[in-house]
Amino acid sequence: MSEKKPKNLVEQGNMTPKKYDENGKVANPVLASEQQIKQQAEIEKIKAKLENFKKEILKKYKFTMAIGLLPMGSSPLFEEDEGLPKEVINTKPLHILMLIPEEKYNEIPKIKPEVIKIVKELKENLWVHIKTPVDLWNYGLDSKFEFIDAVSACLPVYDNGFLGALRVANIHKSLLLRKFEKYVTSYVIAGSLVRGTAGKDSDVDVFVVIDDTDVKRMSSAELLDKLRGICYDYIREATALAGVKNILNLQVYLLTDFWQSVKDAHPVMFTFIRDGIPFYDRGTFLPWKFLLKRGKIKPSPEAIDLYMKQGEQTKEIVKRRMLDTMIDIYYGIITPTQAMMMLAGEAPPVPKVVVEEVKKTLVERDKVMSLTDLKILEKAVNLFKQYEYGKLKEISGKELDMLMEEWKSYNGMLKKMREKIEKKIHEKTAYEVYADLFKTLKSIFGDKSESALLKEFESKLIKKGKVEPRFSKVIREIANIKKRVKSGKVGLKEVDSMKKDAIELIRSLVEYAQRAELVCTEKGTLMQVIYSGGRKAELVLTGKDNFLVEGKSIKRIAGDKLVEVKKEELDKALMENKGKLSTVINGELFHTLEKILGKFEVVI
């Protein structure tokens, strides 16, 4: 069954491209794989033969750009092009491309005999074609694209990056031709590759012109967008196949748009046509290039008027851009100022009232900004207001330079201000942490000195297991915080870490205080019970009813079991026991607890 042929460019773009072998036939994956293995083995043998040739050439001619083995199938092309004698052709030599810079072109007559001498000494059957980049581009200008294809496909023995750049462009061209066939009218290279200066990391500039004259039911914008997507997708594939780092910079044009731009004297199109070298052309690009060279492509009167008008608009454009610069400087002042206000604990003020709010907070309250710096802010705000109200139509370069200097000074001041504000925040936070912690300790142990409170904490809470042992280090660090803050040795991270530890410690102290208040000795006898691998609970003894309190859980000891009760029941038992001078406890209670809890210890 014959394959359905596409009717137009849109259908062509929707088709899945075939996979081809190097001869242009549909590839068989299995056969291709076997063939590749054989070819790879042959290539390795040839590479070994050419290694000595490369060393000798590079030793003598260090300016050499590339050395490559031309494809076997291209031998007849180069043999005919250079007019090789029949007796040489019959020996079936390996055809080698030696690429040298254009400025060395006049030295080729001297270089050639030396190269022949090197070949003879190596006793290899080689024929060396010494070319410059311009020689290659002349193939393109003569529509001999098969020569450029052959050079692009040659096996690189040495390459300074030129062959790699050529290869990725040529592979990309081949992929597009297979996809769009007759619709590609021109594939052209430009930039460093044409100048002969392309290196291993150089970008490869190319542009493709695609015939859109048979497209009727799709807008030019839609078609161009679709074509760009397909062409850009092939860039990744071409780069992978070429095995190079060069980035392919591609411009895609529709034929109708490109020609219109040429008629309108678009500078980019003129440059493309003047400097570009075709890798492929169906009779479009080369005639343009010839006509441009002969001065036959001339801009229309409308194009001349358009460009003249753009020149006349320059003054207005520059004025607008200078105003835009002033606006950028304004935001460069106002935005970080709002940040400083937030850091100082205030909401970011709107531009309308920013000067008043900054004066009130940063100048008068915190004293971290001078009136001179405030004037810079005020000037920027006033300029922007004038612009908003339409009063400021233009600003001079001298004024902009002054504004830039003021912005630079103001920005430096803000950085120093940030350090001052952050230092104050550190100090304030550190003092608050210290005050909150020792206030909590005083509520538990009474109004005592710092050293006395620390001793009480160690003896009554740490040693008796009322709080975690790690808090011993935490409380001593917080006790020394004042001295360390004054010396400036405490950073933001350390203060934040200490604050988190202090919150945990205060929470533990509050829980302890609540338990102690719940079961104070005036209302009942309090003991701590440690059981089951370190679990801790409070044993509240009232004589008549006795309770085990663990965290928020309150249980009454009833016979040989524990019964969950509400806090009200404990409060009632404690109230009934209030005022009693002593509490009598039956010894059986502890035997009962041992049955319920297992082995336990009592801390009094």
The answer, yes or no, to whether residue 581 has pLDDT greater than 50, is no
Beta strands in 6-83 (DSSP E): 66-69
Please check the confidence at residue 29 and state whether its pLDDT lies above 60. Answer: no
CB of 201 closer than 8 Å to CB of 164: no
What is the arithmetic mean of pLDDT over 399-428? Answer: 89
**β-strand partners of 526:** 540
Count Cβ atoms within 10 A of the Cβ of residue 326 and give its class: 0-12 exposed, 13-18 middle, 19 or more buried: buried
Can you tell me the distance from the alpha carbon of 38 to that of 411, in angstroms, rounded to the nearest whole number? 68
Count, in order, helices (H) and strands (E) of the chain.
24, 14
Structure tokens at 93: 């030599």
- Cβ neighbours around 246 below 10 Å, total: 23
Distance CA 420, CA 406 (A): 21
Say what the pLDDT of residue 1 is.
43
Closest to 404 in 3D by CA, of 382, 369, 379, 372: 379
> Which pLDDT belongs to residue 25?
40
Q: Which residue has the higher pLDDT, 328 or 529?
A: 328
Query: To 5 degrees, how large is the angle CA 29–CA 32–CA 33?
Result: 85
How many C-beta neighbours within 10 Å does residue 261 have?
17
Under DSSP, the state recorded for 20 is B
Q: Which pLDDT score, from 0 to 100, does residue 604 have? A: 66
Model confidence band, residue 496 (pLDDT cutoffs 50, 70, 90):
confident
Q: What is the pLDDT of residue 169?
A: 92
Three-state DSSP state, 479: helix
What is the predicted pLDDT for the residue at 31?
A: 41
42-64: per-residue pLDDT in tens? Answer: 777 777 778 888 999 999 999 99
Domain spans in the chain, listed from the N-terminal domain onward: 1-160, 314-395, 426-517, 525-603
Give the confidence band of 189 by pLDDT, cuts at 50, 70, 90: very high
Q: CA 104 → CA 42, 63, 64, 115, 151, distances in Å?
A: 33, 9, 10, 15, 20
Q: Which residue is listed with tokens 């042992």? A: 469
* Confidence category of residue 134, pLDDT binned at 50, 70, 90: very high
Cα–Cα dist 262/268, whole Å: 9
Q: Would the pLDDT of 588 be above 50?
A: yes
Residue type, 509: L
**Three-state DSSP class for residue 332:** helix
Structure confidence at residue 30 as a pLDDT band (50, 70, 90): very low
Q: Give the neighbor-by-neighbor strand order of the sheet with 66-69.
A: 126-131, 94-99, 66-69, 155-159
Residue 19 neighbours by CB under 8 Å, 6+ apart: 26, 27
The fraction of the chain above a pLDDT of 70, given in percent, is 86
pLDDT surpassing 90 at residue 479: no
Residue 466 has pLDDT above 60, yes or no: yes
H/E run at residue 162: helix 162-180
- What is the rounded (10 degree) CA torsion for 243, 248, 253, 259? -110
- Amino acid of residue 93: P
Q: What is the pLDDT of residue 375?
A: 94
* Mean pLDDT of the region 574-597: 72
What percentage of the chain carries pLDDT values higher than 90?
Answer: 27
Instruction: Give the pLDDT band (50/70/90) at residue 461.
Output: confident
- Per-residue pLDDT for 82 more than 70? yes
pLDDT tens digits for range 216-266: 677 778 888 888 888 888 998 998 888 888 888 999 999 888 888 887 767
Using pLDDT thresholds of 50, 70 and 90, give the confidence band for residue 174. Answer: very high
pLDDT in the model for residue 20: 39
412: confidence class by pLDDT, cuts 50, 70, 90: very high
Task: Give the tens place of pLDDT for each residue, 85-133.
Answer: 899 889 888 899 999 999 999 999 999 999 999 988 888 888 999 999 9
Average pLDDT rounded to a whole number, residues 70-75: 89
Q: Which two tokens stand for residue 284?
A: 């479009």
Position 79 pLDDT exceeds 80:
yes
DSSP state of 26: B
What is the residue type of 512? Y
Which amino acid would we find at residue 353? V
